[in-house]
A and B are shown apart, each in its own frame.
Chain A
Amino acid sequence: MSSVKEQNSHESTFAHSAVTLFSGVLFGLGLIISGMVNPGKVIGFLDLAGDWDPSLIFVMGGGVTVTTSTFWLVLRRERPLFEQKFFLPTKADLDGRLLIGAALFGIGWGIGGLCPGPAITALATLDPSVVLFVGAMLLGMVLQNLVAE
């Protein structure tokens, strides 16, 4: 019994990793194609009083349309293909941490025009401004981790 289980988990390790890597590449390509890796494009959207560029609405719209139309179907299954269970957030209620955290993130996003996905994706260009931003972002994450403990 246990050997069957071990074999299953061993066989699915490759598929699990392939799914993860493929998803990462697809996600990164989406950010590049949509122009979201360019902080100038993001600020162009956030600058309502300037030369406004509504493109980001279409990025969010395209993404949310795909996820909203399929997530419910996926989550009707008992478990995902290559894992024992779905790993979903369990908190349901609003709290100060959520709202303050999102506000701080919004302020940082508005200053730099970068959020975590585009920042990591653009890191591979070795653009100095992105390297600097990502370094500070990692430090911010570590600091939050320390404060939380």
Chain B
Amino acid sequence: MNRILELVLRSGARLAEPGEFTKRAFLGGRIDLARAEAVMDLISSGNEFARKTSAAQLEGAVSARIRELREKILYEIAFIESALDDPENYSLDGYTDKLMSVCQDLEKEMRSLLSHAEEGRILKDGIRTAIVGRPNVGKSSLLNHLAGEERAIVTDIAGTTRDTLSETVRVGGVLLHLTDTAGIRKTNDKVEQIGVDRAQKALDSADLILFVIDSSRALSSEDEEIAARIMNKMEEGKKCILLMNKTDLISGVKEEDVKTLFTSKGADCPPLLFCSLQTGEGTKELGDFISEMFHTGEIAQKNEIFISNLRHKGAVQEALDSICLVEDSINNGMSEDFFSIDLMNAYRVLGTILGEAVEDDLVEEIFSKFCMGK
């Protein structure tokens, strides 16, 4: 495969730049702007939630909702305009009541879109972090340590079960959604098996895996099992940090052996840090390390996702404001020709989400997203 690529490149082809195909698809009119942005989010997001959101957007979920809203608005505009131009055939009698109920529906839908955007944003901004390891290596201590030291606990995520515990904490300025998992090991105990399955799920949905190893004890087959699972995830592009805990005790395992867990299977060994959660030694380094990974873009490109969301959110907010202004106009007994001013505005700004209305600032947006290189 690589050789073929090399060959075509040598014959004058060039590699597509990131997002180039998306840019072309958008500019070629095959996908709308919301979808194009979703692809860009997908490319740049190293984070599962963002991926899922982007994937839904890509399937056109957002586009379809926005399109629906626009169509409803357009119908009302068209009706008002027809009635103004052709009063003989289109009567506005009793129309304001009807428009009021349409506006209230629109308002409700847009408010719901916005509230979800808010939830999505919080989740999207954080890094889903799974703490894994065999039992009693200090996973819960790590969680408590991180949560306790940093008192800036943002939120508790509901759905905490007896086997996994989640906390949202800020480490080195970075938001982490920590999930403490049950120790992963082969088991015949049904209840424990559930815990193991859940731990696997946490692994599946994590962006960052903290693999905690008890440095005072020799490696076990359970460590091997966990390393294997992590390697699977690493192949999918997930990041892992190895945390050698209990450095305050006498070392029972060689660094080399830990590395071999991975290198023997042909994988690169993840970065390895030493700490003692008992004494607090090395925990600051852990925070710094995660923060650095984040800011160098290794974990997730926060800004890309954030802008796309902000733009969409801003547009929906403006459309909502306009619809509320229409309601005000109705309540103030204004005549129908005034309604279309704000209806038009709502229609237009929603159009900017789909790229169906091109505006100057939108152009800037397109530039920042798609105009890479040629």
Do the two chains belong together in a single complex?
Answer: no
Show the binding face of A for B, using Cβ within 8 Å. none
